[in-house]
Amino acid sequence: MIHKIGENISVFRDDLYPFLGGGNKGRKMDAMAKDIIAQNANALVTTGGFQSNHCRAVAIFAAQYKMKCSLVLHGSEKEFERQSGNAKVMRLSGADIIFVSKADEIGTTMDRAMMNYEKAGLKPYYIWGGGHTLEGGLAYINAIKELKDYCDENNWVPDYIFHASGTGSTQSGILAGLDKYGFEKTRVIGISVGRKSEQATRIVDDFYKDLCSHYDIACLNRESIVLDDYLMGGYAQYNSELKELSLNSIKEYGFTLDTCYTGKAFYGMLDFIERNNINDKNILFWHTGGIFNFLAD
Ligand SMILES: *Cc1c(COP(=O)(O)O)cnc(C)c1O
């Protein structure tokens, strides 16, 4: 679903993706469903932070399909119990939540959760944090078909697509999808929410090429661009300007912009448009979600 918010700016409303609590993690998880069901899995194991949109989508999926679910979260249980938003959804989903105090314990703890399910006679399915999987990328290749239909109907083509970039699978999927559906001139600007540009760009670029080869797409080798100019100190950090943009987002635009993901991307987009004098270009803001993050603080 796409709508205009200004003369040249439109928004792709993946925050309103209809399943699993929405957002790009809902879309990615839905794309994984086929493989999970094909493998007859009946238990899911994944990881993320206390406000992880990915863990929330996995937890809701498990509840809907009556599967077991283990979420390995990094941090203190006491703090988790206090939090709202995604943490509240996870708590109430029926998932088994396992806390680790050190980040380097996540991998072994996930492996143990897998083993415990196997010992109990179940068939567990391992999901990388953030839903960074081929199917997660495919979800965005397919989402570009929705964009294509909109563009054909409205005789409009974006010159630029801006969005929040984390693990990179959303961006890689968009790039591969643009190749597949013939958007030759559209440029994608990922706004990094945590990683430095060099690392983020390499990951997006590699995964973009993996997706093209895996899904048989003629790769146009477009430039992978991930900007780290708006990190504001790192993942989940923000400044007072971004906080204000977030608090005014409903009033100004009619949708939420959280401070961790979409607010950063929107802030970066506005700044980029101004600095590069591209007010007259067709701009698409890809709203990746974050409603629960917005509601959590
Ligand atoms: C995870 C997330 C992102 C980043 O998506 P990636 O595919 O990991 O790059 C952006 N916005 C929101 C709201 C997210 O939850």
The residues spanned by each domain of the chain are 2-24+133-296, 26-131
Q: Tens-digit pLDDT profile for the chain (297 aa)?
A: 899 998 899 999 999 999 999 999 999 999 999 999 999 999 999 999 999 999 999 999 999 999 999 999 999 999 999 999 999 999 999 999 999 999 999 999 999 999 999 999 999 999 999 888 999 999 999 999 999 999 999 999 999 999 999 999 999 999 999 999 999 999 999 999 999 999 999 999 999 999 999 999 999 999 999 999 999 999 999 999 999 999 999 999 999 999 999 999 999 999 999 999 999 999 999 999 999 999 997
Q: Decide if 2-24+133-296 and 26-131 have a common fold.
A: yes
CB of 2 shorter than 6 A to ligand 1: no
Query: Distance between terminal CA atoms of the chain?
Result: 27
- CA–CA dist 139, 29 (Å, integer): 9
CB of 190 shorter than 6 A to ligand 1: no
Q: ∠16-41-291 over CA atoms, to 5°?
A: 20
Atom number of ligand 1 nearest to Cα 163: 10
Q: What is the pLDDT of residue 131?
A: 85
CB of 86 shorter than 6 A to ligand 1: no
In this structure, what token pair is assigned to residue 88?
A: 């509240």
Which of 68, 1, 57 minimizes the C-alpha distance to 33? 57
The helix or strand, by DSSP H or E, that contains position 8, with its residue range, turns out to be: none
In this structure, what token pair is assigned to residue 98?
A: 């396992």
CA of 209 to the centre of ligand 1 (A): 19
Helices 23-38 and 169-180, axial angle in degrees (round to 10): 80
Please name the residue whose Cα sits nearest to atom 7 of ligand 1.
Answer: 170
pTM: 0.97
CB of 161 shorter than 6 A to ligand 1: no
201 burial via Cβ count (<10 Å: 0-12, 13-18, 19+): buried
Residue 188: helix, strand or coil by DSSP? Answer: strand
Q: What CATH number was assigned to the domain covering residues 26-131? A: 3.40.50.1100
Alpha-helical (H) ranges within 65-101 are 77-82, 86-92
How crowded is residue 125: how many other Cβ atoms within 10 Å of its Cβ? 23
CA of 24 to the centre of ligand 1 (A): 6
The answer to whether 222 and 179 have CB atoms below 8 angstroms apart is: yes
CA of 172 to the centre of ligand 1 (A): 12
Contacts 24+ apart (CB under 8 A), 107-115: 109/72, 110/45, 110/46, 110/47, 110/70, 110/72, 113/45, 113/70, 113/72, 114/45
Please name the residue whose Cα sits nearest to atom 10 of ligand 1.
Answer: 164
- CA–CA dist 70, 152 (Å, integer): 43
Pick the CATH number of 2-24+133-296 from 3.40.50.300, 3.40.50.1100, 2.60.40.3080, 1.20.20.10: 3.40.50.1100
Q: What is the pLDDT of residue 297?
A: 77
How crowded is residue 150: how many other Cβ atoms within 10 Å of its Cβ? 17
CA of 170 to the centre of ligand 1 (A): 7
Atom number of ligand 1 nearest to Cα 258: 13
Q: What contacts 210, CB < 8 A, 6 or more positions away? A: 134, 137, 172
